[in-house]
Amino acid sequence: MPISEKEEPLLTVTQLTRKIKLSLETDFPSVLLQGEISNFKRHTSGHGYFTLKDEGAQIAAVLWRSRAATLSFPPEDGMKVVVRGRITVYEPRGSYQIDVTSMRPFGVGELQLAFEALKRKLAAEGLFDASHKRPLPAFPERIGIITSPTGAALHDMLQIMGRRFPVVEVILMPVRVQGAGSAKEIAEAIREFNEYGQVDVLIVGRGGGSLEDLWAFNEEIVARAIYDSEIPVVSAVGHEVDFTIADFVADLRAPTPSAAAEMVVPDRIALLETLRKNWYTMHDEMRQMVNAHRERVGNILQSYSFNRPIDLLRQFSQRVDELDRAMASSVTHLFAMFRVRCTSLSQRMSALDPQLTLKRGYVLVSRDGKTISAAAQLHTDDAIALRFHDGTVKSTVT
């Protein structure tokens, strides 16, 4: 039967393929698929190409290099995975495929294998080395918390911090803690806190859950963000029996979020009790030291060695008194001797007094104020003075 072009429009292969492409990509913008990896090939460009299949069908898949770098495990043939992506049509071949945006292992067994593989990889790179881990500050002023704002873990941590150390300031960076994109949010939150630089310690975590629920903390992007953090990081994921890659990289692993809150802040009551005990201990020790030194000083004051200088001082003081008395006696004796000598000299001087001689009838002859001791010194008509004991008479030599 001949084809009638009037019954329906005539399309080219390209036009039909584009219609199919538009229909598929519009109806399936995002799908979540479970399947087994087959024929996985990594191109030199870094892109990955593989087939996702189950017992009844298969679909081609492409994983671009930028997304492959964020995987926490290496995809391998035979591995069961869960992928998220959008359906696209590769027009040159007219085939449809899934453009994978994220991938995780399916089932606990596969997740555990991925966990161990990443753990070995990061351990070999030194991300778990104890030498890189830093101590937590003893008295933090500001704490950053990276967790879900609606989870019970946040409420428990805030309650414990408020009770133990109410002066601490808490800054919350709300993130998703499970599901697609949660690992990226956690890693970005850690970097943002480091750029802010005003917190003393970070708590990264969430409450308990299955291995799938906790998987965001097993992602390589989170592990590297914790390792690169300049701020000490406490990992507080799940319950005590739960271990994640974040626990191995962090500076400190807390068994639960509540335990993390207790580990990062001191207990105010215990701190006050310690201060009180230290005060009493210091007070008693100081009192004992004062008493001991007081007793020692008393012993020194009573000792012969300490009192010897006082004895010497007293002896020297007594000696000074003796010397003072001796000096006073000597001075008195000297004054007496001088007095006797003065009296004797006075008497001798009195005996030599010309006035006494004149009283006996002698006359003192002088010329021009000069005493004449011999007659030959006088000449006729010399004017002379005759000094008697009761007066002077002027005369002329004849």
Distance of CA 382 to the CA centre of its chain: 122
| Side-chain-facing half-sphere of 15: CA atoms under 13 Å | 4
Residues 316 and 312: their CA atoms lie apart, in Å, by 6
pLDDT of residue 67: 85
Q: What is the pLDDT of residues 222-233, one digit of tens each?
A: 999 999 999 999
Q: What is the pLDDT of residues 65-100, one digit of tens each?
A: 888 877 767 788 888 888 999 888 888 888 889 999
pLDDT of residue 150: 92
* Both structure tokens of 157: 């941590």
pLDDT of residue 153: 92
Q: What is the pLDDT of residues 290-318, one digit of tens each?
A: 999 888 888 877 776 666 777 777 788 88
Query: 86 near 99, Cβ under 8 Å?
Result: yes
Q: What is the pLDDT of residues 237-281, one digit of tens each?
A: 988 878 899 999 999 999 999 999 999 999 988 888 888 999 999
Encode 66-80: b = buried (16+ Cβ within 10 Å), e = exposed. Answer: ebbeebbbebeeebe
Query: In a 10 Å sphere around its CB, with 0-12 CB exposed, 13-18 middle and 19+ buried, how is residue 24 labelled?
Result: middle
CATH class of the 13-105 domain in this structure: mainly beta
Q: What is the pLDDT of residues 4-30, one digit of tens each?
A: 555 678 888 888 888 888 888 788 888
pLDDT of residue 4: 55
According to DSSP, the β-strands at 383-388 and 364-367 are: antiparallel
3-state secondary structure of 97: strand
pLDDT of residue 199: 96
**pLDDT exceeds 90 at position 369:** no
* Both structure tokens of 105: 């292992």
pLDDT of residue 271: 85
Query: In a 10 Å sphere around its CB, with 0-12 CB exposed, 13-18 middle and 19+ buried, how is residue 344 labelled?
Result: exposed
pLDDT of residue 186: 96
Name which of 159, 177, 51, 181 is nearest 104 in CA terms.
Answer: 181
Query: 76 near 14, Cβ under 8 Å?
Result: no
Degrees, nearest 5: CA angle 166-169-173: 130
pLDDT of residue 363: 82
Degrees, nearest 5: CA angle 96-97-99: 140
* Both structure tokens of 327: 């000096």
pTM for the model stands at 0.53
- Just give the CATH number of 128-266: 3.40.50.261
Name which of 225, 245, 228 is nearest 121 in CA terms.
Answer: 245
> Percent of the chain having pLDDT more than 90?
41
Order of strands, sheet of 201-206, starting from the edge strand that comes earlier in the sequence: 169-174, 142-147, 201-206, 233-237, 252-253
pLDDT of residue 9: 80
Q: What is the pLDDT of residues 43-53, one digit of tens each?
A: 888 899 999 99
**pLDDT exceeds 90 at position 383:** no
pLDDT of residue 316: 80
Task: Tally Cβ neighbours within 10 Å of residue 215.
Answer: 22
Q: What is the pLDDT of residues 174-201, one digit of tens each?
A: 999 998 889 999 999 999 999 999 999 9
Q: What is the pLDDT of residues 312-360, one digit of tens each?
A: 777 888 888 888 888 988 888 888 898 888 888 887 777 777 777 777 7
Residue 157 neighbours by CB under 8 Å, 6+ apart: 145, 147, 203, 236, 257, 258, 260, 261
Query: Domain segments of the chain: what residues?
Result: 13-105, 128-266, 354-396
Give 179 or 137, the one with higher predicted confidence.
Answer: 137
Tell me the pLDDT band of 2, cut-offs 50, 70 and 90. Answer: low
Average pLDDT over residues 278-291: 91
Residues 145 and 201: their CA atoms lie apart, in Å, by 9
Q: How far is CA 368 from CA 46, 263, 373, in A?
A: 151, 129, 14
Q: How far is CA 290 from CA 213, 276, 277, 295, in A?
A: 65, 21, 20, 9
